Amino acid sequence: MPLTAHSNLPSFSRLREEGLEVLSSDRAQHQDIRELHIGILNMMPDAALQSTERQFMRLVGSCNRIAQFHVHIFSFPEIPRDELAQKHIDQYYASFDQLKRDGLDALIISGANPVQSDITQEPYWEPLAKTVAWAKDNVCSVMCSCLATHAIVQQLWGLERYRLPAKRWGVYSNRVTNNRHPLTVNINTRFDAPHSHVYEVSSDQFKQAGLTVLAESEISNLHLGTSPDGFRFIFFQGHPEYDTISLLKEYKREVVRFINGVRNDYPDSPENYFNDAAIDLFKNYQQEVISASGNYENLRQFPEAQAIPLMDNTWTDTGKAIFNEWLGLVYQLTNQDRRKVFMEGIDASDPLDILKLKK
């Protein structure tokens, strides 16, 4: 059901132009539909700041529950920003103090760009710990993406990520390992999901710590899991929010970094992502770059425009389905009586115990 444009955030207009239903504040006020207030903590770097907003807002806005979704986006002042990104944050983002006063029903925490080998040295480590401590007691459920998953399982369960020999990026087949959990009961038992990370935590680490693994891949390992209670924290190591061209943009960025001398090796392309025609397109471009031997004055632009019509998306429907089930549970658990029961704790050793609160 609809997002509500309760602010002038440009992403609301962009999503409306794409065809997503976005209510004006005036129209929303005249509808007798329950509100759900969803926070999005956006820790992504400047280049991906606004696209990350839209990606998560699309998943929230695609939920089929009868509710108005009020999305409140915030970030941390500790994360260095360029002037343009900081202006956007200052103009359109909420403050954490404001959200603590007003309250949230659920919270989404984006990934971030890993800079430090020791995650505890990242600028967002301390403010994230404070946010998570607050959310544990005041938010019905927290959904974490990629690096946010790595940070939070270390903060709360002591699980340390490990560095991979090479970056794991591409689209990987995943298999549901628990089809009785409310988040996975209505999705395909096998589905695709994008991954893009240098560090990871494993399904074995999750299981040893008492966390629940819901879906994993033979190649990319853990994709989806939860905290031991089955719902308070939802962990993605992959990126269900990614657009069709998100990995293409990342690949372009890495190629440009090679051309500009920032990296020494020409990047491998994302796995299982490009079809044969796109692979040929990029192989030809790689040969042109290598043949230029640093003399790039006459080098044509990266063939992004030619590649876009060749791209396929095999993961968004599953991402929408999981978000739909998640927000459906949030919807059920956040009326006053059920929220009180949830916050006081339930026995959720069997994830289906969550559904007992529907009664």
The residues assigned a catalytic role are 146, 239, 241
Beta bridge partners of 168: 197
Give whole-number Cα distances, 201 to 112, 130, 151, 192, in Å. Answer: 16, 22, 10, 19
Tell me which residue of 147, 113, 155 sits closest to 131, measured CA to CA: 155
* Residue 160 Cα distances to 191, 216, 265, angstroms: 27, 18, 28
Q: Are 131 and 178 in contact (CB under 8 A)?
A: no
Burial-class residue 130 by CB neighbours within 10 Å (0-12, 13-18, 19+): exposed
> Do residues 350 and 52 touch, judged by C-beta distance below 8 A?
no
Distances in whole angstroms, Cα of residue 291 to Cα of each of 87, 258, 285, 294: 41, 14, 10, 8
CB 56 within 8 A of CB 108: yes
Question: Which tokens in the block code for residue 86?
Answer: 């900081």
Cα 325 to chain centroid distance, Å, stands at 16
DSSP secondary structure letters along 289-324: HHHHTT--TTPPPP-HHHHGGG----SHHHHHHHHH
